[in-house]
Amino acid sequence: MKAIKYKILGLCTCLFMISNNSEAQKKKTASPAVASYFIEGSITGLVDGTAVKLVPGATHSSELPVAETTLKEGKFSFTGKLNEPRFFYVVFGKNKGNISVMVENSKIKISAAGTVSDQEGERISFKDVVITGSKAHDYYKKETAFKEELDKDYKDYHVGIEDLSNKVGKARKEGNKKVLDSLYSTEQWKTFEAAEKAFFTKVEKTTLDLIAKHKTTWWGPFFMMTNFSYFTPDQKPLYDQFSDAAKKSYYGQILDKDLNPKSLIGTSIANFNLKDKDGKPYNAKDIVTGKKYILVDFWASWCGPCRKEIPNLKTAYAEYGPKGFEILSISIDKDEKAWQKALGQENMQWHNLLDDDKVSKAFNVKTIPATYLVDAKGVIIGDNLRAAELEAKLKELLKS
pLDDT for the residue numbered 34? 54
Backbone torsions φ then ψ of 281, nearest 5 degrees:
-75, 140
CA distance 337 to 334: 9
Report the C-alpha gap between 213 and 204 in whole angstroms.
14
Q: How many helices (H) and strands (E) does the chain have?
A: 16, 15
At residue 6, what is the residue type? Y
pLDDT number for residue 16: 28
CATH class of 273-397: alpha beta
| Fold equal for 22-138 and 273-397 | no
Closest CA to 102 of 13, 34, 41: 13
Long-range contacts of 203-209 (CB under 8 A, 24+ apart): 203/1, 203/4, 203/6, 203/150, 204/1, 204/4, 206/146, 206/150, 207/4, 208/238
Q: Are β-strands 370-375 and 325-331 bridged in parallel, bridged antiparallel, or unpaired?
A: unpaired
> What does the domain layout of the chain look like in residue ranges?
22-138, 146-259, 273-397
CATH top-level class of 22-138? mainly beta
Tell me what pLDDT residue 400 has: 59
- Please report how many Cα atoms fall inside a 13 Å half-sphere around the Cα of residue 141, on the Cβ side: 12
Supply the pTM of this predicted model. Answer: 0.68
Given a contact cutoff of 8 angstroms between Cβ atoms, the answer to whether 103 and 13 are in contact is: no
Give CB contacts under 8 A, 24+ apart, made by 177-180.
none
246 burial type by CB count under 10 A (0-12 exposed, 13-18 middle, 19+ buried): buried
Per-residue pLDDT of the chain (400 residues; tens, 9 = 90+): 444 443 333 333 232 222 333 333 333 333 344 589 999 999 999 999 999 999 999 998 878 899 999 999 999 999 999 999 999 999 999 889 999 999 999 999 999 999 999 887 789 999 999 999 999 999 999 999 999 999 999 999 999 999 999 999 898 888 899 999 999 999 999 999 999 999 999 999 999 999 999 999 999 999 999 998 878 888 999 999 999 999 999 999 999 988 887 888 898 888 888 999 889 998 888 888 889 999 999 999 988 889 899 999 999 999 999 999 999 999 998 888 889 999 999 989 999 999 988 898 888 887 888 999 999 888 999 998 888 889 889 999 987 5
Written as one letter, the residue type at 25 is Q
